[in-house]
C-alpha cells in the first residue's frame, strides 16, 4: 500500500476511521471514507491483502435500505450484497465498496415515490423519469478513489451492469474480468429484473473474457 500522503493526494474522499468487522461471512476490515462536498460516508470492507493480489475480487455496491435492511423483495440488492460478501470470504481476499447513493442516486424519499408509481404500472426507468430524474444517477468516482487508497488497481468486478463497468474503467480502474452476480427472481421483482435486462442492458450471464 502506498504512503498516506500518496494515497490522499487529489482525492475527493478522505479516510476517517477503521476497525475489525466480524460478520456471518467472516471477519473483514471496515474502512469509512467521507466524500467532500456531499458529506456522504462510504464504506470499504476488506479481506486479506487485496493490494498484493492481481485482479482482486471486488464488488462496488450502492446502498439500498429497503432491500438490505428491511428485506424487500422488490429488488435484488440484498441478495447481491450477501452473495458478494460470501464470495469474497470464500476467496479469502477481496474488497466490497459500499456507496451511500440510495435509489440509483435519487435518495430514499424519491425512491419510495418511484415505487408508488411502479405500483400504478410504470417500470423503474419510467418511474424515475416521471419524477424528473435520469434512469440512473449513480457516480462511481468515489469508489475508484477508495480502491486507489487501498492500493487496488486491477479487479475482477462482480456486476451485471455494463454502465458501472464503463464508469470504473473511465475512472482509471483496470477491470480484468466481469463476474455476474445473480439473485433468484421472485413474483415481486421479475418486472424489475426484466427492466434491468431489456432497458438498462444488464448482463445476467457470466463473462468468460479476460484482459
Taking only the tens place, the pLDDT of each residue in 110-161 is 999 999 999 999 999 999 999 999 988 999 999 999 999 999 989 999 999 9
Predicted pLDDT of residue 1: 42
Taking only the tens place, the pLDDT of each residue in 6-58 is 444 456 899 999 999 999 999 999 999 999 888 999 999 999 998 877 899 99
Report the run of H or E that residue 83 belongs to, with start and end.
helix 77-91
Q: Has 151 been labeled as part of a binding site?
A: no
In the chain, the DSSP E strands lie at 13-23, 26-35, 41-47, 56-62, 94-99, 154-158, 174-179
- Between 75-79, 171-175, 184-188, the lowest mean confidence (pLDDT) is in 184-188
Residue 159 DSSP label: -
Q: Which of 76, 87, 123, 136 is catalytic?
A: 136
Predicted pLDDT of residue 11: 62
Q: Has 66 been labeled as part of a binding site?
A: no
Q: Are the CB atoms for 177 and 54 separated by under 8 Å? A: no
Q: Which of 87, 138, 148, 178 is catalytic?
A: 138
Q: Tell me if residue 207 is catalytic.
A: no
Please give the Cα distance from 187 to 204 (Å, whole number): 18
Predicted pLDDT of residue 185: 82
Predicted pLDDT of residue 207: 62
Angle at CA 77, nearest 5°, toward 140 and 57? Answer: 60
Q: Tell me if residue 20 is catalytic.
A: no
- Tell me the domains of the chain and their CATH numbers: 12-101+138-188 (3.40.50.10990)
Q: Has 8 been labeled as part of a binding site?
A: no
* Of 196 and 58, the one with more pLDDT: 58
Please give the Cα distance from 7 to 14 (Å, whole number): 10
Q: Count of alpha carbons within 13 Å of 150, Cβ hemisphere only?
A: 35
Report the run of H or E that residue 114 belongs to, with start and end.
helix 108-119
Q: Has 205 been labeled as part of a binding site?
A: no
Distance set, CA 47 to CA 28, 92, 141 (Å)? 5, 6, 22
Q: Has 93 been labeled as part of a binding site?
A: no
Taking only the tens place, the pLDDT of each residue in 51-78 is 877 899 999 999 999 999 999 999 999 9
Predicted pLDDT of residue 197: 77
- Phi, psi dihedral angles at 97 (to 5 degrees): -100, 120
Please give the Cα distance from 119 to 81 (Å, whole number): 25
Amino acid at each position: 500500500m502506498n504512503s498516506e500522503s500518496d494515497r490522499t493526494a487529489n482525492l475527493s474522499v478522505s479516510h476517517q476511521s477503521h476497525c475489525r468487522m466480524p460478520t456471518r461471512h467472516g471477519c473483514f476490515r471496515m474502512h469509512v471514507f467521507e466524500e467532500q462536498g456531499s458529506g456522504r460516508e462510504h464504506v470499504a470492507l476488506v479481506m486479506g491483502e487485496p493490494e498484493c493480489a492481481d485482479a482482486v475480487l471486488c464488488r462496488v455496491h450502492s446502498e439500498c435500505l429497503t432491500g438490505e435492511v428491511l428485506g424487500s423483495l422488490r429488488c435484488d440488492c440484498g441478495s447481491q450484497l450477501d452473495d458478494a460478501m460470501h464470495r469474497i470470504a470464500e476467496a479469502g481476499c477481496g474488497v466490497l465498496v459500499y456507496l451511500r447513493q440510495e435509489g440509483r442516486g435519487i435518495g430514499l424519499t424519491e425512491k419510495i415515490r418511484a415505487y408508488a408509481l411502479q405500483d400504478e404500472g410504470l417500470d423503474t426507468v419510467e418511474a424515475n423519469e416521471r419524477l424528473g430524474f435520469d434512469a440512473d444517477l449513480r457516480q462511481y468516482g468515489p469508489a475508484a478513489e477508495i480502491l486507489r487508497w487501498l492500493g487496488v488497481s486491477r479487479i475482477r468486478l462482480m456486476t451485471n451492469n455494463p454502465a458501472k463497468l464503463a464508469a470504473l474503467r473511465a475512472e482509471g480502474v483496470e477491470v480484468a474480468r466481469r463476474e455476474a452476480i445473480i439473485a433468484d427472481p421472485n413474483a415481486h421483482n421479475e418486472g424489475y429484473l426484466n427492466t434491468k435486462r431489456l432497458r438498462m442492458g444488464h448482463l445476467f450471464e457470466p463473462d468468460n473474457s479476460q484482459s
